[in-house]
Structure 1
């Protein structure tokens, strides 16, 4: 399992954002300082208020315009990639922070959550990859 921990300014807004993208909340690991948002049996995103985040590290929290990581989620098809990008833009995030990438066998769109964390929705068909 992986738990991606992200600092957030306001817990309610990113919770609603991630729910709109298809994540489920796990109330067992959610309180007024943190929320566990579940993508799959293996992938969880922990949203941590800034105060909670600071209990884990003294390193500075990046600004919402900085990119500390780009997290990619594999989706079932191009339509799902487009839908995630649209949901991001409609729920407090930003869609298409970079030009969409269409290589035929791979299609992706980058977006941010309300706190500026960068995600990439991606679909790929390895059987259609060009040789070499």
Structure 2
């Protein structure tokens, strides 16, 4: 059996969230979508359950973080190219999201962050295949022009 991932995130406006995530290219599973929640389908193994804040609160006794002011989790999605990263960010901005910081280009990896209209943090990244398979240092060894680019946890 392959593991599926279901990430629950709060929203203050369910219809706005559905429109935002479909603008990024995700689908909606109507079997698990109603007036309190929407099942956002990224692929056959990754799903978001976007839940109205009040409904989200029924699943825990803990306070629900406000994603506009508190980062509880940041989710990252790989893309096939730098252009795909830029495309999904531009779609998200056009659908009401915001880009909280500039793009990060480490040479072997290119990433951009996107906050949905509720403030939930998403990252989209492209990693050069050589770096993904052999590690960042192998990529840098073959591309010395990136030797001085700071890499978190490395320099």
TM-score, normalised by the number of residues in structure 1: 0.94
Helix, strand or coil: the match of 1:6?
A: strand
Q: Which runs of 5+ in 1 are unaligned?
A: none
User: Which residue in 1 is equivalent to 2:56?
Assistant: 53
Q: Which runs of 5+ in 2 are unaligned?
A: 142-155
1:39 matched to 2:46? The reply is no
How far does residue 130 in structure 1 lie from its aligned partner after superposition? 2.6
1:16 paired residue among 6, 15, 19 = 19
Say which structure is richer in helix: 2
User: Which residue in 1 is equivalent to 2:96?
Assistant: 92
User: Which residue in 1 is equivalent to 2:32?
Assistant: 29
How far does residue 126 in structure 1 lie from its aligned partner after superposition? 3.5
- Structure 2: distance between partners of 1:108 and 1:116: 18
Cα shift readout 1:11-42 (whole Å, capped 9, x = no counterpart): 00010000000100000100000000000111
Q: 4+ residue runs of structure 1 moved beyond 4 angstroms? A: none
More RCO (CA 8 Å, sep 6+): 1
Q: RMSD over aligned Cα, in angstroms?
A: 1.3
TM-score, normalised by the number of residues in structure 2: 0.80
* Count of residues in Structure 1 that have an aligned counterpart in Structure 2: 131
